[in-house]
């Protein structure tokens, strides 16, 4: 599909039909501009990397690797540590995955295997619309609709049923790690579902027929021929969802409680890397405070980039290359 | 060869169990699908329920009232969003489209692979980080929050998005068009601009609209670039308000009236985004190529 | 045998025909022969397009029946109707009746999954389950049906692989992934997998079309041995293959059954001019 194969032809064509010598430089300039534009991608990556590194230098020099393990976050004493935020980010993202991946894969299966053709499109469109809802609106809805419901119903109910587990003990405020996980789950559902759908659609019909020919029921066909075949792709979709979950900022900030605590209870408030940056960046008073926030940003970007690269690698090795670029 | 001894036939109980599992899993999958689409309806319902009643003339024309006072509107935030989107487009559209042109028309396979890969990686950078980066670039050195910084932050986010969508659409333009142009002796750049881009224009515009819809709702990158403002701006070199910023500030405040306005603002924002998405859908329905 | 006056290249076909002609005299199953499939009046539509026109045919048990014809003649369609696989394509409609050893396979009480257990299928392109080992592939159908007893599973594993002429080649590597085998071995693995659930009939849809001559020969050999335990119906576009392996042959054209007879007769002395034209290579 590449027109670059036509390139050698250009020189000959131009030499033959246009004797004008001026004809060469507009082409060269145009191409040069286009190249520059494309290279801004590389420049942007370098920019992000540089600014984050430059901004964190002070904190890195002061705290070293202890920063990642320390739980102290004391702006007054100028002592900072990233662990509560790393913990919060990981836990809320994990909760989000545990909710969104099974739901998303099941929905993708529903769409590819079971749903009559007529209702497929409306459901797909609805999921796409869900993807278009901005994080801050989810946060708004989270504060005034989700949190009260969680506090007054679901959490109470969970504590009644499962309160013997440390996960579900402790006071219920509503704003909590679990609320953060739930809202992030809602936000990553569209991408997990859509990438899973692409993966499942790429399973060859011949595999399904092999299972049917053995006398399998529809669900058994899905289990044996579709899900096993698509296993790796589904993992890739999950990792992609994780990448998204790690970076969610606004909605999480509005429902997670924003307290740098480490607790075994899912009902306790938490704090994520993105949230603390969002909340405290404009209030940072000292250079070290600032630099520590930059270092948190550096950690966040490093982890997110690694996860996203992993997801790209996992998904690209599949036939057809589900690129996971759903909005 | 001897006929095989008979295989133990599956018991009717087992068969019934298999049939039951089959039906049960179908129900489970349906339930999951419903669970996945439910949040959208819940959000839309509450947006309309809580926000629609506040959408009066004053909401669209007035400035926010001082803290604690009832009333006022989001006029400046709405204008601010439009201003920021315009500035973001000034950066994002030319760079994104030209970059996409390079990838589709000029690049080699290896270079393109890395650029595409990097663009996908950039798309995964959390939006708050863009805010930090542009802060360090444009706010700290000039010692002021500004609309410029906000516009740049959003614009930089648009670049990888638009580059990818442009490339995808350009690659679909049949080779024959380019070859026809070459055979006529038209200059390469002319062929691209006048023939190829024009043919793919609908798709390119669609890609731009999608990117706009995406950044219109972004709050995090604006938190420390545009910052927010309760008054009209007279200079782009000063903090500017935007609807998502206002929603965030109001929602996390302690005042009920501000909560009400947050819902209204959210409804307006959602309507804007849905409108853009709808026009994308309408545009995509027509044929792309003649 | 009647003198041949047509221009059929007889040497290759004659060489292909099996030596024994004991049942050659009969042109339909004698009362002594059991009927496996009793098909009456099959009409099949893919949406608005009709693919089978009033097909009536009786397929004998413990014999190999070949279905031949040019592309698009409906042979695969007819085959897939025999184990209700056509129902997987939305919009297909079938009228007519199908009885397997006397039992109506399309009656309302019958679950299609039961039909497919009794009537197994091997496909044009081998399709072992890639995430399963050789052993797991063979036993997949058994496990589905709830067979748990290790002894039975192991016994069935060996029996099926022997019947598919694959045991000696894989008996030491049963734990390796099924897709690690060569094309011909994979197809034999699929045959073993189909045989493991002990179907009464084995349907084969152009099983050798993707294989080289050596692998093809191995499979044809094993088809010959399957007669004692199974009924085989094989669709093939390769006339020599039909002549080599089958007892009876059915010639389809444009969705209709044109002629159905002993294989020898179809190839050496066809009654219908269209049949003769096809087997002599004048079209198709």
Dump pLDDT digits (tens) for A277-321: 999 998 888 889 999 999 999 999 999 999 999 998 888 766 444
**pLDDT score of B281:** 87
Give C80's contacts in chain A (Cβ within 8 Å): none
If one counts every other C-beta atom within 10 angstroms of the C-beta of residue A316, the result is 16
| CA-wise closest residue to B159 among B106, B231, B215 | B215
Q: Does A6 have pLDDT greater than 50?
A: no
Q: Which residues of A touch C (CB under 8 A)?
A: 117, 204, 206-217, 220, 224-225, 228-229, 231
Q: Do B188 and A274 count as a contact with CB atoms less than 8 A apart?
A: no
d(CA C139, CA C133): 10
Nearest-Cα residue of chain B relative to residue C152: B7
Instruction: Report the run of H or E that residue C97 belongs to, with start and end.
Output: strand C92-100
Q: Do B2 and C142 count as a contact with CB atoms less than 8 A apart?
A: no
| CA-wise closest residue to C81 among C108, C116, C122 | C116
CA dist A31 → A245, B97, B104, C225 (Å): 38, 13, 12, 69
Residue-averaged pLDDT of chain B: 89
Give A208's contacts in chain C (Cβ within 8 Å): 88
Give C225's contacts in chain B (Cβ within 8 Å): 1
Query: pTM score > 0.80 for this model?
Result: yes
Q: Pick the residue of A17, A20, A39, A132 with the most B CBs within 10 A to test the interface with B by mutation.
A: A132
What ipTM does the predicted assembly reach? 0.90
Instruction: Report which DSSP code applies to C105.
Output: T
Q: Each residue of B216-258: pLDDT tens digit?
A: 999 999 999 998 888 888 888 999 999 999 999 999 998 888 9
Quickly state the pLDDT bin for B283 (edges 50, 70, 90): confident
Q: Does C81 have pLDDT greater than 80?
A: yes
Nearest-Cα residue of chain B relative to residue C197: B7
Q: Each residue of A91-126: pLDDT tens digit?
A: 999 999 999 999 999 999 999 999 998 999 999 999
Q: Each residue of C249-259: pLDDT tens digit?
A: 999 999 999 99
Cβ pairs bridging B and C (under 8 Å): 32
The answer to whether A193 touches A131, Cβ cutoff 8 Å, is no
Give B8's contacts in chain C (Cβ within 8 Å): 147, 152
Q: Assign C184 to helix, strand or coil.
A: helix
Q: Each residue of B140-191: pLDDT tens digit?
A: 899 889 999 999 999 999 999 999 999 999 999 998 888 888 898 888 888 8
Residues making up chain B, counted from first to last: 290
Nearest-Cα residue of chain A relative to residue C125: A206
d(CA A153, CA A19): 81
Give B16's contacts in chain C (Cβ within 8 Å): none
Maximum C-alpha span of chain A: 87
**pLDDT score of B194:** 86
Q: Tell whether C11 is within 8 A of chain B (Cβ).
A: no
Q: Does A20 have pLDDT greater than 50?
A: no
Q: Tell whether B65 is within 8 A of chain A (Cβ).
A: no
Question: How close are the terminal C-alpha atoms of chain A, in Å?
Answer: 25
Chains interfacing with A (3 or more CB pairs < 8 Å): B, C
Which tokens go with A155?
A: 């959490």
C200 to chain B, minimum CA–CA distance in Å? 11
Nearest-Cα residue of chain A relative to residue B168: A1
Q: Does B43 have pLDDT greater than 80?
A: yes
Which tokens go with B8?
A: 């133990």
Maximum C-alpha span of chain B: 96
**pLDDT score of B1:** 39
């Amino acid at each position: 599909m590449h027109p670059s194969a036509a390139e050698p032809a250009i020189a000959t064509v131009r030499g033959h039909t246009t004797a004008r010598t001026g004809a060469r430089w507009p082409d060269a300039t145009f191409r040069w501009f286009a190249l520059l534009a494309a290279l801004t991608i590389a420049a942007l990556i370098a920019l992000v990397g540089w600014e984050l590194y430059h901004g964190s230098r002070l904190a890195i020099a002061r705290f070293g690797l202890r920063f990642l393990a320390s739980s102290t976050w004391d702006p007054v004493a100028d002592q900072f540590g990233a662990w509560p935020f790393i913990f919060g980010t990981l836990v809320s993202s994990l909760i989000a995955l545990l909710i969104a991946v099974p739901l998303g894969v099941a929905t993708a299966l529903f769409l590819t295997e079971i749903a009559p053709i007529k209702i497929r499109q409306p459901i797909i469109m609805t999921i796409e619309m869900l993807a278009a809802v901005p994080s801050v609106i989810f946060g708004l809805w989270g504060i005034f609709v989700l949190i009260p419901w969680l506090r007054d119903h679901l959490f109470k109910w969970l504590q009644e049923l499962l309160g013997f587990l440390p996960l579900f003990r402790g006071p219920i405020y509503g704003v909590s790690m679990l609320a953060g996980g739930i809202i992030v789950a809602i936000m990553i559902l569209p991408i997990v579902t859509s990438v899973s759908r692409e993966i499942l659609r790429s399973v060859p019909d011949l595999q399904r027929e092999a299972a049917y020919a053995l006398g399998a029921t529809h669900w058994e066909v899905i289990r044996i021929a579709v899900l096993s075949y698509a296993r790796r792709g589904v993992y890739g979709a999950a990792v992609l969802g994780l990448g998204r979950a790690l970076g969610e900022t606004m909605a999480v900030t509005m429902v997670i409680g924003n307290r740098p605590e480490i607790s075994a209870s899912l009902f306790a408030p938490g704090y994520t890397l993105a949230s603390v940056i969002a909340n405290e960046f404009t209030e940072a008073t000292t250079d070290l405070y600032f630099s520590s926030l930059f270092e948190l940003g550096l950690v966040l970007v490093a982890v997110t980039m690694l996860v996203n690269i992993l997801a790209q690698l996992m998904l690209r090795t599949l036939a057809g290359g589900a690129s996971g670029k759903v909005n | 060869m001897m006929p095989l001894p008979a295989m133990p036939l599956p018991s009717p109980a087992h068969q019934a169990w298999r049939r039951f599992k089959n039906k049960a899993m179908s129900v489970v999958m349906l339930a999951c699908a419903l669970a996945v689409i439910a949040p959208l309806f819940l959000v839309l319902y509450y947006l309309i329920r809580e926000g629609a009643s506040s959408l009066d003339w004053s909401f669209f024309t007035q400035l926010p009232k001082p803290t604690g006072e009832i009333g006022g509107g989001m006029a400046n935030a709405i204008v601010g969003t439009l201003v920021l989107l315009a500035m973001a487009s000034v950066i994002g559209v030319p760079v994104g489209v030209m970059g996409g042109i390079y990838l589709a028309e000029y690049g080699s396979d290896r270079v393109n692979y890395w650029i595409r890969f990097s663009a996908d990686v950039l798309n995964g950078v959390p939006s708050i980080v863009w805010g930090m980066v542009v802060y360090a670039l444009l706010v700290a050195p000039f010692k002021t929050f500004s609309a410029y910084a906000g516009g740049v932050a959003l614009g930089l986010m648009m670049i990888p998005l638009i580059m990818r969508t442009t490339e995808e659409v350009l690659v679909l333009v049949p080779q024959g068009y380019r070859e026809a142009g070459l055979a006529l002796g038209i200059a390469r750049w002319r062929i691209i601009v006048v023939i190829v881009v024009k043919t793919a224009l609908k798709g390119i515009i669609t890609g731009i609209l999608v990117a706009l819809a995406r950044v219109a709702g972004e709050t995090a990158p604006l938190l420390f670039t545009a910052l927010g403002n309760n008054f009209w701006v007279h200079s782009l070199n000063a903090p500017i308000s935007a609807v998502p910023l206002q929603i965030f500030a109001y929602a996390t405040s302690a005042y009920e009236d501000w909560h009400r306005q947050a819902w209204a603002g959210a409804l307006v924002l959602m309507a804007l985004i849905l409108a853009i998405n709808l026009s994308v859908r309408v545009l995509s329905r027509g044929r792309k190529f003649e | 045998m009647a003198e041949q006056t047509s221009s059929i290249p007889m040497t290759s076909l004659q060489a292909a025909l099996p030596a024994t002609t004991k049942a050659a005299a009969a042109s339909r199953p004698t009362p002594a022969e059991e009927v496996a499939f009793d098909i009456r009046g099959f009409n099949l539509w893919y949406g608005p397009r009709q693919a089978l026109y009033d097909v009536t045919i009786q397929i004998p048990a413990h014999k190999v029946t070949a279905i031949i014809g040019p592309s698009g003649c409906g042979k695969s369609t007819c085959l897939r109707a025999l184990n209700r696989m056509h129902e997987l394509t939305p919009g297909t409609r079938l009228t007519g009746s199908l009885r397997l050893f006397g039992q109506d396979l399309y009656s309302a009480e019958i679950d299609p999954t039961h039909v497919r257990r009794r009537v197994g299928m091997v496909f044009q392109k081998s399709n072992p389950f890639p995430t399963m080992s050789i052993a797991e592939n063979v036993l997949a159908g058994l496990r589905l049906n709830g067979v748990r007893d290790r002894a039975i599973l192991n016994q069935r594993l060996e029996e099926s692989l022997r019947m598919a002429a694959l045991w000696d080649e894989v008996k030491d590597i049963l734990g390796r992934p099924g897709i690690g085998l060569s094309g011909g071995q994979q197809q034999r693995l699929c045959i073993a997998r189909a045989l493991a659930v002990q179907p009464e009939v084995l349907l084969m849809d152009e099983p050798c079309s993707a294989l080289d001559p050596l692998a093809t020969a191995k499979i044809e050999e094993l088809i010959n041995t399957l007669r004692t335990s199974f009924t085989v119906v094989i669709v093939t576009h390769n006339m020599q293959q039909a002549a080599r392996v089958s007892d009876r042959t059915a010639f389809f054209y444009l969705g209709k059954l044109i002629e159905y007879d002993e294989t020898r007769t179809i190839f050496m002395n066809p009654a219908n001019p269209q049949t003769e034209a096809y087997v002599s290579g004048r079209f198709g």
